[in-house]
């Protein structure tokens, strides 16, 4: 397998396992979403609504082992949730990925069937990935008592559909991610089912890989928050 393809595969697989490493804990922080919507899902957070949305600093780990501040913003209207995430690009970066896991029932725990969206923008999977966390085949969790939702599998492989949109842009030396995902899609089995005013949780998984990386050297992996989920309160008009 070519090195680039190998790393691309690692980036795709990354959200399948990382969230299994942490204990079940209450949310570490809270963020109130702004009521609004972007003019387009194009990888730009320059819209008026994005600029006025409250941002939360997320400290991410770089491949060098140093840390850097990233910015998380969340908005919603009556139909969709919008997530914006940006950070300064480190030197010598080869690839990156960002995945968001939803705890729509707000249990604060990693459960079977939770919804995940994400992107691997530097490789062939730069499209939005709409996944469900599951232990069902073809997932092959380790023996014993694996945490529910051990694998991340695309919804389309479990009778569902890919819902929402995602875009990535490199702008001014910064990586910018922008996501849209329905609050309630017809894919009730695999997607979130939320309404304006609801409170739920999200967990971020970020991987940065530098040129010449030899795992774990040259990899920067961030899981935010480290325990449990970030609590999000959806806005109402």
CATH number at 159 reads 2.60.40.1190
Position 27 scores a pLDDT of: 41
If one compares 74 and 2, the residue with the highest pLDDT of the two is 74
Average pLDDT over all residues of the chain: 88
Position 144 scores a pLDDT of: 86
If one compares 184 and 1, the residue with the highest pLDDT of the two is 184
Position 22 scores a pLDDT of: 36
Find the mean pLDDT for residues 190-210.
97
Q: What is the pLDDT of residues 152-186, one digit of tens each?
A: 999 998 999 999 999 999 989 999 999 999 999 99
Among 23, 21, 57, 28, which residue's Cα sits nearest to residue 232?
28
- The CA-atom distances, in angstroms, between 29 and each of 151, 191, 202, 229, 236 are 25, 23, 10, 8, 20
Among 177, 178, 121, 129, which residue's Cα sits nearest to residue 153?
129
- Residue 123 pLDDT grade (very low, low, confident, very high; cuts 50, 70, 90): low
Kindly tell me if the per-residue pLDDT of 11 is higher than 90: no
Count of domains forming the chain: 1
Query: Is the Cα torsion angle 62, 98, 132, 10 positive or negative in sign?
Result: negative
Q: What is the pLDDT of residues 39-86, one digit of tens each?
A: 999 999 999 999 999 999 999 999 999 999 999 999 999 999 999 999
Length of the chain: 237
For 83, phi then psi, to 5°, come to: -125, 125
Kindly tell me if the per-residue pLDDT of 16 is higher than 80: no
Position 125 scores a pLDDT of: 53
Q: Give the per-residue SS3 of 183-197.
A: CECCCCCCCCECCCC
For 206, phi then psi, to 5°, come to: -120, 130
CB 131 within 8 A of CB 166: no
Report how far Cα 96 is from the mean position of its chain's Cα atoms: 12
CA–CA separation, 45 vs 158, rounded Å? 33
Please report how many Cα atoms fall inside a 13 Å half-sphere around the Cα of residue 154, on the Cβ side: 12
CA–CA separation, 163 vs 56, rounded Å? 26
Among 137, 139, 127, 132, which residue's Cα sits nearest to residue 154?
132
Run of H or E residues at 212? strand 199-214
Position 145 scores a pLDDT of: 78
Percent of the chain with pLDDT over 90: 78
pTM to 2 decimal places: 0.88
Task: Spell out a b/e string for 118-133, using b for 16 or more CB atoms within 10 Å of the CB, else e.
Answer: bbbbbbebeebbbbbb
Query: Which residue segment(s) compose the domain that 63 sits in?
Result: 3-233
């Amino acid at each position: 397998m070519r090195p680039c393809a190998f790393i691309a595969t690692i980036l795709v697989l990354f959200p399948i396992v990382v969230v299994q490493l942490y204990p079940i804990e209450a949310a570490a922080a809270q963020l109130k979403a702004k009521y609004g919507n972007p003019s387009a899902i194009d990888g730009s957070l320059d819209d008026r609504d994005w600029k006025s949305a409250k941002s939360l600093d997320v400290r991410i780990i770089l491949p060098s082992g140093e840390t850097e501040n990233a910015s998380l913003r969340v908005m919603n209207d009556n139909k969709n949730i919008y997530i914006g995430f940006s950070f300064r690009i480190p030197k010598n970066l080869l690839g990156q990925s960002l995945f968001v896991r939803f705890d729509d029932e707000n249990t604060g725990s990693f459960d079977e069937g939770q919804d995940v969206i994400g992107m691997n923008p530097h490789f062939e999977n730069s499209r939005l990935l709409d996944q469900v966390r599951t232990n069902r085949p073809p997932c092959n969790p380790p023996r014993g008592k694996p945490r529910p939702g051990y694998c991340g599998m695309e919804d389309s492989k479990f009778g569902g559909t890919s819902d929402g949109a995602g875009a990535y842009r490199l702008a001014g030396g910064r990586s910018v991610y922008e996501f849209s995902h329905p609050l309630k899609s017809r894919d009730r089995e695999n997607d979130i089912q939320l309404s304006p005013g609801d409170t739920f949780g999200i967990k971020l998984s970020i991987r940065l890989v530098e040129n010449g990386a030899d795992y774990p050297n040259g990899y920067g992996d961030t899981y935010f928050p480290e325990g449990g989920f970030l609590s999000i309160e959806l806005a109402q008009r």
